[in-house]
Amino acid sequence: MKQEMMTIVTQRLLAPQIYEMTLTGELVKQMIIPGQFLHLKVPRADLLLRRPISINKIDHEKNECAIIYRVEGDGTDVLSQLQSGDKVDVMGPLGNGFPIEEVKKGEKILIIGGGIGIPPLYELSRQLVAKGAEIINIQGFRNRETIFFEEEFRELGEMHIATSDGSYGTEGYVCKILDTRLKEFNPDAVYVCGANGMLKVVNERFIDHPRAYLSLEARMACGMGACYACVCPKANSETETMRVCKEGPIVATGEVAL
């Protein structure tokens, strides 16, 4: 992990409150594993805590990476106002990332995402396709307006969308699509990133699967394992915890209490 003043190449609005920021800098060379995150300093003196944002795309040829984030408060609002050419203080890449070494050509991989949990699944999908895997993305959104990156995911393989209000795709939650698709095949591996409710359901469903992984979300401060602001209780233990920023954010199903 290193720290650098990275340069913003582009910044664009993808959906209401959802922004994509492309960055360039030496740190891109260290971004290899999908599912890791960057810790961005907000350029306003009173906002001390960095904002953890997962890496959406890595492009070593252009020496660029992209992040996608939702404006949820002052910090992300300030970040959304930065423009191309501006510098931003970035630490990273941080966290363990999705384990994909064991993925083999021809394997069927299930990738489940919800809302702002979806961005890291794009780089994951790209890398799995590059390994020759067949990917099935199932994604959940609140409604049609909040959908982003649909075309980009469709270009990589099978893709299904559910919206809570039924304004696009299947009405309801991702489980509805999951139930139908799982009657037809058994995934060789499963990767999930989304809200806690979704993680809980998928965790239970794939608790005995040997290669099912969840990306956890937590409030963070240092982002590098020093402050214990992000601890999460381990499953089947009254006392053991793990740091989401350091030992996570990716865990196997059954590893933590959700």
Q: Shortest Cβ distance from residue 1 to ligand FES (Å)?
A: 13
In 12-33, which positions are buried (b, 16+ CB within 10 angstroms) versus exposed (e)? eeebeebbbbbbbbebbeebeb
Q: Shortest Cβ distance from residue 96 to ligand FES (Å)?
A: 12
Nearest 5°: CA angle at 25, between 22 and 28? 80
| Residue span 190-209 as binding mask against ligand FES, x where in contact by CB under 6 A, dash where not | --------------------
Token pair listed for 241: 């915890």
Contacts for 10-17 with beta carbons within 8 Å, 24 or more apart?
Answer: 10/84, 11/80, 11/82, 11/83, 11/84, 14/68, 14/148, 14/149, 15/145, 15/146, 15/147, 15/148, 16/145, 16/146, 17/70, 17/71, 17/72
Q: Which stretch binds ligand FES (CB under 6 A): 76-84, 93-101, 108-116, 217-225?
A: 217-225
Q: Is 213 within any annotated ligand binding site?
A: no
Q: Shortest Cβ distance from residue 242 to ligand FES (Å)?
A: 10
Number of residues that bind ligand FES (CB under 6 A): 13
Q: Shortest Cβ distance from residue 115 to ligand FES (Å)?
A: 22
Amino acid at 238: E
Q: Does 71 bind ligand FES (CB under 6 A)?
A: no
Q: Does 221 bind ligand FES (CB under 6 A)?
A: yes
Q: Is 69 within any annotated ligand binding site?
A: yes
Q: Is 80 within any annotated ligand binding site?
A: no
Q: Is 76 within any annotated ligand binding site?
A: yes
User: Of 130, 151, 55, 63, which is closest to residue 95 (Cα–Cα)?
Assistant: 55
For ligand FES, the closer CB: 188 or 217: 217
Q: Is 245 within any annotated ligand binding site?
A: yes
In angstroms, the CA 76 to CA 65 distance is 18
For ligand FES, the closer CB: 159 or 193: 193
| Packing angle of the helix pair 196-205, 174-182 (nearest 10 deg) | 20
For ligand FES, the closer CB: 89 or 150: 89
Token pair listed for 62: 């252009």
Q: Is 175 within any annotated ligand binding site?
A: no
Q: Is 164 within any annotated ligand binding site?
A: no
Q: Does 250 bind ligand FES (CB under 6 A)?
A: no
Q: Does 1 bind ligand FES (CB under 6 A)?
A: no
For ligand FES, the closer CB: 14 or 49: 49
The answer to whether the beta carbons of residues 192 and 250 sit under 8 Å apart is no
In 198-234, which positions are buried (b, 16+ CB within 10 angstroms) versus exposed (e)? bbebbbebbeebebbbbbbbeebbbbbeeeeebbbeb
Q: Give, as ranges, the residues between 224 and 243 that touch ligand FES (CB under 6 A).
A: 225-230, 243
- Residue ranges in contact with ligand FES by CB under 6 A: 220-223, 225-230, 243, 245-246
Binding-site members for [2Fe-2S] cluster are: 222, 227, 230, 245
Binding-site members are: 51-54, 68-70, 75-76, 222, 227, 230, 245
Binding-site members for FAD are: 51-54, 68-70, 75-76
